Amino acid sequence: MESDRRAGAVIAAMGAYVPKQVVDNNALARTLDTSDEWIYARTGIRRRHVAGPEETTATVSQRAAEECLRAAGFPAADLRWVLVSTDTPEMWNPASACFVQAGIGATQAVALDVTGGCSGFVASLGMARALAERGDPVLLIGCEVLSKAMDWSDRSTAVLFGDGAGAVLVLPADAARGLAIEAVYARTDGRDADILGKPYGGTRNPITPELVAGGHHHRIVMNGQYVFKHAVLRMAEAAEEALRIAGVGLEAVDWVIPHQANQRIMDAVADRLHVPREKVFSNVEEYANTGSASIGIALVEAIQQGLIRPGHNLLTVAFGSGFSWAGAVLRTEVVVPVGADLV
Ligand code: ACO
């Protein structure tokens, strides 16, 4: 007997938020030995949005969540899960998602954080799909407030990052139409765990007066060229594997929405996949690398710009600390409602 229940899960609505304080490259060049030319040539970044004194991972996440739920017309009280993918949590514990849950009134939800590097949002999309497939409405937010967690005197990392959040409402496929989550592929390789990250302030290197005096408490450790090389290889792999699982050929992809790490990485991934660069959405110039938030913000902007149409196949790919990498294929059944408070 044929079931009338549609299998799978869809993104039914999206939201995005970035802080209103903008720091451009010239502003950074006033305190760091750097320049707009150097930063733009190496990364494609011109400016980044930075949280104000009152803004935190919970408040920035909540703004994106509110935009998403308002666009969907979906009551927060009907959510079963609130997931926040972030590497810059509100605090050690409880989870950032608990504060978001309280803020939006998702009284029936379980609130959890995922620490998955810059690919945490895409990997979490796989979890959200599994939860939604069994009938649970899920709100997934990717958020970073990197500005409060990094060393602004280190020119090798300070120029790269920005703050923001993207949110998606993931529902069972028989409850809504939207961006059908056709496939999610996610991997990690912990052998490279020490290459990129923020190793101070945890249990391995607890905060001490000496640590703070040495300026270590905010330090981001990164081997830039090693990260660059692996980001290109792994994002290409994630793209190919996600497409293989979805049964979609590269030629049938209408838009690639990559993690906005930097323009040179995005260009290199496009070239490696033989995808025309015009099919690769980029807003890294405006927002810099917003980690787990970048794909949500990019998808929302692509929709706002009218680039996504019914029938379009979307490919998202990401790479980050861990190392971790992930790709997802989304099929546009209908263009989903989005709410956004961006530039
Ligand atoms: N301004 C001016 N000079 C700088 C700056 C800066 N902001 N930062 C570094 N330099 C200097 C270095 O000190 C070095 O000087 P030296 O030759 O006198 O020693 C010189 O520039 C070259 O440094 P490299 O690290 O070799 O520069 P590179 O061309 O590799 O570019 C970059 C650095 C942009 C970080 C590049 O390696 C990169 O994009 N890596 C990927 C990193 C990334 O995206 N990380 C984000 C997190 S992971 C993710 O999201 C995928």
> What confidence tens digit (pLDDT) does each residue in 210-229 have?
999 988 888 999 999 999 99
289 is catalytic: yes
CATH class of this structure's domain 1-343: alpha beta
CA neighbor of 318 nearest in space, from 307, 327, 330: 327
Q: Are 291 and 87 in contact (CB under 8 A)?
A: yes
Q: Average pLDDT of 182-191? A: 98
For residue 162, the model assigns a pLDDT of: 98
∠ at Cα 297 (227, 85), nearest 5°?
Answer: 65
Atom of ligand 1 nearest to the CA of 43: 34
CA of residue 176 to ligand 1 center, whole Å: 44
- Inform me whether the pLDDT recorded for 240 exceeds 70: yes
pLDDT averaged over every residue in the chain = 96
Domain ranges of the chain: 1-343
Q: Best mutation site among 146, 160, 289 for ligand 1, i.e. most ligand atoms within 8 A of its Cβ?
A: 160
Give burial (CB, 10 Å; 0-12/13-18/19+) of 57.
Answer: buried
Supply the residue whose CA is at minimum distance from atom 31 of ligand 1.
42
Q: Average pLDDT of 110-139? A: 97
Three-state SS for 187? strand
Confidence band (pLDDT; 50, 70, 90) for 2?
very low
Q: Average pLDDT of 245-269? A: 97
Taking the C-alpha atoms of residue 59 and residue 63, their distance in angstroms, rounded to an integer, is: 6
Pairing, β 138-144 against β 81-85? parallel
Confidence band (pLDDT; 50, 70, 90) for 4?
low
CA of residue 106 to ligand 1 center, whole Å: 42
26 is catalytic: no
Taking the C-alpha atoms of residue 254 and residue 182, their distance in angstroms, rounded to an integer, is: 15
What token pair was written down for 79? 């959510």
Confidence band (pLDDT; 50, 70, 90) for 289?
very high
Integer angstrom CA distances of residue 318 from 187, 251, 289 = 11, 20, 12
26 within ligand 1 shell (Cβ under 6 A) = no
What token pair was written down for 160? 């790269």
- Inform me whether the pLDDT recorded for 1 exceeds 50: no
Q: Which of 259, 283, 312, 313 is catalytic?
A: 259
- Inform me whether the pLDDT recorded for 48 exceeds 80: yes
For residue 305, the model assigns a pLDDT of: 97
Q: Average pLDDT of 109-130? A: 98
CA neighbor of 333 nearest in space, from 49, 6, 95: 6
